[in-house]
Copies of this chain bind each other. A is one copy, B any other.
Amino acid sequence: MQEAIESREGRGRSRPRPASIRDVARLAGVSHQTVSRVLNGHPSIRDVTKARVLAAMDELQFRPSRAARMLSMRRSETIGVLAAAVGSHYGPASSVSAVEDAARERGYYATVAHLASVAPGAISAAIEDLLSQDVEGIVIVAPRTTVLSRLAALPMNVPIVAAQGEHRGTGGIPVASVNQEAGVRLLLGYLIGQGHKRILHVAGPPDWNDAQSRLRAYKAELSAAGLSWSPPLFGDWTADSGFEIGRALVQQAGRSSRADLPFTAVFSSNDQMALGLIHAFRAAGLDVPRDVSIVGFDDIPESAHFWPPLTTVRQDFSQLGARCVTMLIDAIRRLEDPDALPAEALAAAPVEPQLVIRDSVAPV
């Protein structure tokens, strides 16, 4: 026995070839197909047979080869994730993890491609990379209009779903999203309720869908409330950019006294930029919220400990990720069997955000 094993494993040089179902079959005294049946839980297998096969598998430390399964089933059971500039962004990063987890839960593997730039070359390279892994579908995270429109132009024969984007203008790519309008409404409603009338908006980069929705909602809400809105300032989501914008703001207001500021509150498109803004204001001798009120968006785990703790809106990214995966898998199923599911699954209800009131807003 000892000897047999040693000789099977060879000595040193070449690694032992892992056991295949035929090896198991031989040891169990059945056909390889029977082994395959045991593997897949086929109903018509006698218990004794199954037990023998299982024992053989165990003895040989059998592990099915994914490659072989993929090849013969012509399915990879893998979905791809295209992540744009996830590095320092809390939301997108959370969404990616959520997608990975949700996929695993649904029996799929997930593989992610990071996008360093939005150059057409980089995008198609990333897609190419995913496709070369035979992914059955792709989830786009952190959608920017640039990415989405370029994607729509690419020849693709697998289903695609975007996380957190506009329903319009995505070139027909289905989208799962957190309700941005509702989030903005919550924030602005609160601000207005506290008496604020001149509310500035620091937006995210114009080509990000989220930034666009929030900006649009900002305008719409203020208009609806009979207030006027000022042209937004654009940051790049980082605290650094928020800081720069804040500095420019106080500089251009001249003296750093509350009366000089042409606004009483600023709505930042995410929490990090809000942090930068607060920093800039305070550095200029202004107090938040006494002199300026600030609200953010996302509710990153640190927001509660900003100074002052930030009033913001919470997005449930894991729910978002799960929803994307559901939609994508439905789409994949529909490819196999066109009338398997009602197409209305495409119009998933948006995830609802939640207002988190802390101390960065003062009544006016």
Q: Is A286 an interface residue (CB 8 A)?
A: no
Known: A67-B67, A67-B76, A93-B93. A12 touches B309 (CB 8 A): no
Is A86 in contact with B97, judged by CB distance below 8 angstroms?
Answer: yes
Q: Would you list 26 pairs from A and B whose C-beta atoms are within 8 A, ordered by A residue?
A: A61-B155, A63-B132, A65-B71, A66-B70, A66-B76, A66-B132, A66-B134, A68-B71, A70-B70, A88-B301, A93-B93, A97-B114, A100-B112, A104-B113, A104-B129, A111-B111, A239-B301, A239-B302, A239-B305, A240-B301, A243-B304, A272-B301, A275-B306, A278-B307, A279-B305, A282-B307
Q: List, in ascending order, chain B residues with CB within 8 A of A67's CB.
A: 67-68, 70-71, 76, 134
Contact residue range for chain A? 35 or more
In this assembly, does A235 line the interface, its C-beta being within 8 Å of a C-beta of chain B?
no
Residues B109 and A111 in contact, CB atoms below 8 Å apart = yes
A residues lining the B interface (CB < 8 Å): 12-13, 15, 17, 61, 63-68, 70-71, 74, 76, 86-88, 93-94, 97, 100-101, 104, 109-114, 129, 131-134, 155, 238-240, 242-243, 272, 275-276, 278-279, 282, 301-302, 304-307, 309, 335, 338
Q: Which among B112, B134, B243, B302 is the interface contact of A275 at CB below 8 angstroms?
A: B302
